[in-house]
Each structure stands twice: as structure tokens, then as C-alpha cells.
């Protein structure tokens, strides 16, 4: 069943798999091998760096203008002077026509740069990388408009095939897809209502003056800019310094597959600082009648991080908003988070009014119970007669056993 030939074959497959994992795909065309070692890929300020793959891009990475820094290796230094190093993104970028402004499926994201045996510090901004994808921005057509994206206000123009960002010919915006969030830069707008992660290939190419490829390597990144839609039916309850919240999970199968958790938001922000900053009028001894209108927590909004007041796992449909102040009226709401750590828009908020409650331990102490204070607290009032009796019997057994052996 397990003969040596099969074992060696298995090891060969494993060795090949492990070996191929260390380098991005390297190809030889025109005699020079170009490689992008995985260890030579850095991110400047990736969201949740170290907790997600370096190849992953989320909405915050784009908004915060994160960028990749690559190290590119050439197999030889001979003949490099005939080429320039360029980085293109898209589909089939090693074909000249796909880089042609009229028929482009690619857009330039890095270079041109004079190649050396080892090129380090090659920067590719995330926004540039995302700007040419199908959507609110054009694909290398000089900013002639999107192809059905989400930007209802008009794209900012794509990266044309000659490499420059076209800022004069703004795209006309997509004709389909959902309305965009005006707070998000157009280059970062999600593509329609797609919530699944998408893959984008980067082509590191040595190009001569005629556009012929003298060597190339590919490196694939994935991006996901849309968190699933928010949950529905937000309900709040009463707690002390907390607001128990419940909700109904989004029902779409695709949405559920990419949900990684839930983010709770509160207005005013948690803590006494949040209450003071909000300017809300409240009396610590009087339960408020209602919540005043909020400009921050509205359905479809993306509140600032300072309004975060709790999290829940992806299987939860309830959680507590914490660090709230009793007798302060709070608007609370919930957004989904996804596997790329995107946070979606919030659901229709609900009003919560935390107030003092009496839990079991408080009730126990109020009834005269004196227990508690930690696992290591000891009393000098115990009567240890039984304790010593039991320990004595145990000791006798042990001694007896020793003598027997």
C-alpha cells in the first residue's frame, strides 16, 4: 500500500510545493529571470499588519494610503541597460496590446525604473493599484470613465496606459452598482456590490523601448473593500454601565460566508469623556426619557473608531456595549466585519439607557454574606477541627503504606 516509490513521489510533491512557496512566480522571457521573493515584500502601514496576510488589501489600507515596497531580483546584470523595470496590474499585462491605451486591460502602478541586479524599495501605492480595476475608475483608458462602477459622483480618472495618473479627464462614473459612500476616495470605492475577495496580478516586467518583454515575474494580491451589509432589527436592553444589544444576522449566503464578526458603536462615545464631548445634557440621578437625535449614528454611516463600544463573534446575535455611563441616553448600532477586517456601515440604531442593576453577588453581600474578595482571601475564623481530622487520617494511610512497602 505504501511502497517506496509512492513515498518518494509524495515527498517530491511536498518539496516542490514548499519550494514554490518561497518565491513569487518567476518567468524567463528574453533571457533574464525576474523574481520577487516573498521575503522582499513589505507594507508601510497595513491595517492589522501581522494579523492578516501581507498580500491582503482592505478599505482602510486604501483610505490610509498604504503602499507596498518590493525587492526585485534579476538573474543577470548583463543587458539590463536595454530595459526599464515597470510594474503593471491587470490581466495579461505581458501582452503589448493589453497595455495599449485603446485596448488596455492593464494599468501601470510602478516604475519605470532603471533595473539593477537587485532592485529594492520599489513602491506601489495601494490606491494606484486599485485605481484601474473595473469599477469607478477607468482601466488605462486615460480616464474616459468607469465601466459600471459604484461611483455615482464620477471617477477621478484612471491610470492611462502610458503610466501617468490622469487627473484632468475624470471618469463619468458607473451606471450600475450601488450608490457610493461620499466619505470614501473614488479610487477606494468598492466595486459594485461584490463582497467576496478579488485577486489582482502585478506584473514586474523588463520592457525595452518597443514594449517587448525581456523578463517578468508575477505577484498576486487580493483586495476586499466591501464588508457585508449590516444586521437588522437592532434591539437594546437595560444593564448597569452596559447596553445589552441583540440583532438579526444578514441573511444572504454570500454575506454570511464573509462575515468575521460584528462591531458595536455608541453615540456618545464610551466613557465619561465621550459624554462630555457630546455636549449632551444629563442628570446622573434621573433616567432620561429618550435619546436626542444623532448626526453620527445613522443607518448607512461609517462612524469614527472612537465610537466603538464592543465587538461580537460571527456566530453571535447579541453582545454588550460596554463602558457606558448610567442614566445617559445612548444611540447604539451594529456593523459587520469581514475576514479582511473591513467594517461595514451601521444598521438603523436603537436607543439604550443604562441604569444600576443588582446582580447576584451584590444581592448576596446585601443579604449579609461575607464571602468573596478573591481566591486567595483567608479568614481566621474558621474552625479547623474537621480539617485536621481528615488530614490526620490521610497522613496515617500514607505512613501505613510506606511501612508496608
Smaller CB distance to another protein: residue 148 or 244?
Answer: 244
CA-derived radius of gyration, the chain:
31
Considering the complex, what minimum distance in angstroms separates the CB of residue 40 from another protein? Answer: 44
Which residues of this chain interact with another protein, rule CB under 8 A? Answer: 237-242, 244, 287, 320, 322, 355-377, 379, 381-387, 390-391, 393-394, 396-397, 400-401, 404-405
345 in Cβ contact with 300 (< 8 Å): yes
Considering the complex, what minimum distance in angstroms separates the CB of residue 362 from another protein? Answer: 5
For residue 49, the number of C-alpha atoms closer than 13 Å in the C-beta half-sphere is 10
Smaller CB distance to another protein: residue 50 or 284?
Answer: 284
74 in Cβ contact with 96 (< 8 Å): no
Smaller CB distance to another protein: residue 8 or 364?
Answer: 364
Considering the complex, what minimum distance in angstroms separates the CB of residue 379 from another protein? Answer: 4
Smaller CB distance to another protein: residue 6 or 318?
Answer: 318
Name the nearest CA neighbour of 252 among 299, 194, 298, 190. Answer: 194
DSSP string, 132-165: TSSSSS-EESSS---SS-S-TT-----EETTS-B
The dihedral through the CA atoms of 176, 181, 186, 189 has a sign that is: negative
Considering the complex, what minimum distance in angstroms separates the CB of residue 335 from another protein? Answer: 20
Three cell numbers, residue 79: 543587458
Consecutive H or E run containing 360: helix 360-366
Smaller CB distance to another protein: residue 78 or 391?
Answer: 391
Considering the complex, what minimum distance in angstroms separates the CB of residue 366 from another protein? Answer: 7
Query: C-alpha distances in angstroms, 312 versus 5, 261, 262, 263?
Result: 51, 6, 5, 7
Considering the complex, what minimum distance in angstroms separates the CB of residue 26 from another protein? Answer: 51
Smaller CB distance to another protein: residue 79 or 237?
Answer: 237
Amino acid at each position: 500500500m505504501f511502497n517506496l516509490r509512492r513515498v518518494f513521489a509524495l515527498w517530491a510533491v511536498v518539496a516542490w510545493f514548499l519550494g514554490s512557496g518561497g518565491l513569487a512566480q518567476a518567468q524567463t522571457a528574453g533571457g533574464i529571470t525576474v523574481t520577487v521573493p516573498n521575503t522582499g515584500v513589505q507594507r508601510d502601514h497595513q491595517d492589522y499588519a501581522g494579523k492578516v496576510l501581507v498580500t491582503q488589501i482592505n478599505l482602510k489600507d486604501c483610505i490610509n494610503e498604504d503602499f507596498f515596497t518590493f525587492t526585485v531580483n534579476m538573474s543577470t546584470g548583463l543587458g539590463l541597460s536595454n530595459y526599464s523595470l515597470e510594474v503593471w496590474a491587470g490581466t495579461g499585462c505581458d501582452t503589448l496590446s493589453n497595455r495599449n491605451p485603446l485596448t488596455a486591460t492593464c494599468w501601470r502602478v510602478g516604475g519605470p525604473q532603471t533595473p539593477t541586479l537587485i532592485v529594492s524599495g520599489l513602491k506601489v501605492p495601494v490606491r494606484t493599484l486599485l485605481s484601474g480595476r473595473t469599477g469607478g475608475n477607468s482601466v488605462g483608458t486615460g480616464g474616459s470613465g468607469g465601466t459600471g462602477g459604484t461611483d455615482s459622483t464620477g471617477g477621478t480618472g484612471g491610470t492611462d496606459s502610458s503610466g501617468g495618473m490622469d487627473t484632468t479627464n475624470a471618469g463619468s462614473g458607473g451606471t450600475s452598482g450601488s450608490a457610493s459612500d461620499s466619505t470614501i476616495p473614488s479610487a477606494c470605492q468598492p466595486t459594485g456590490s461584490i463582497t467576496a475577495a478579488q485577486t489582482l496580478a502585478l506584473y514586474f516586467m523588463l520592457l525595452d523601448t518597443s514594449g517587448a518583454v525581456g523578463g517578468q515575474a508575477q505577484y498576486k494580491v487580493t483586495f476586499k473593500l466591501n464588508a457585508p451589509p449590516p444586521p437588522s432589527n437592532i434591539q437594546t436592553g437595560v444593564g448597569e454601565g452596559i447596553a445589552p444589544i441583540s440583532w438579526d444576522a444578514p441573511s444572504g449566503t454570500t454575506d454570511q460566508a464573509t462575515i468575521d464578526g460584528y462591531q458595536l458603536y455608541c453615540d456618545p462615545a464610551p466613557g465619561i469623556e465621550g459624554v462630555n464631548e457630546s455636549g449632551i445634557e444629563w442628570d446622573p440621578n434621573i433616567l432620561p426619557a429618550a435619546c436626542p437625535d444623532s448626526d453620527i449614528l445613522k443607518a448607512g454611516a461609517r462612524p469614527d473608531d472612537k465610537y466603538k463600544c464592543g465587538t461580537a463573534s460571527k456566530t453571535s446575535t447579541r453582545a454588550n456595549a460596554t463602558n457606558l455611563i448610567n442614566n445617559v441616553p445612548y444611540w447604539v448600532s451594529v456593523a459587520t466585519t469581514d475576514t479582511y477586517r473591513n467594517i461595514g456601515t451601521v444598521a438603523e440604531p436603537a436607543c439604550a439607557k443604562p441604569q444600576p442593576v443588582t446582580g447576584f453577588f451584590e444581592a448576596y453581600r446585601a443579604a449579609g454574606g461575607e464571602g468573596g474578595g478573591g481566591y486567595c482571601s483567608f479568614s481566621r475564623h474558621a474552625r479547623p477541627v474537621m480539617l485536621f481530622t481528615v488530614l490526620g487520617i490521610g497522613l496515617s494511610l500514607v505512613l501505613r503504606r510506606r511501612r508496608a512497602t
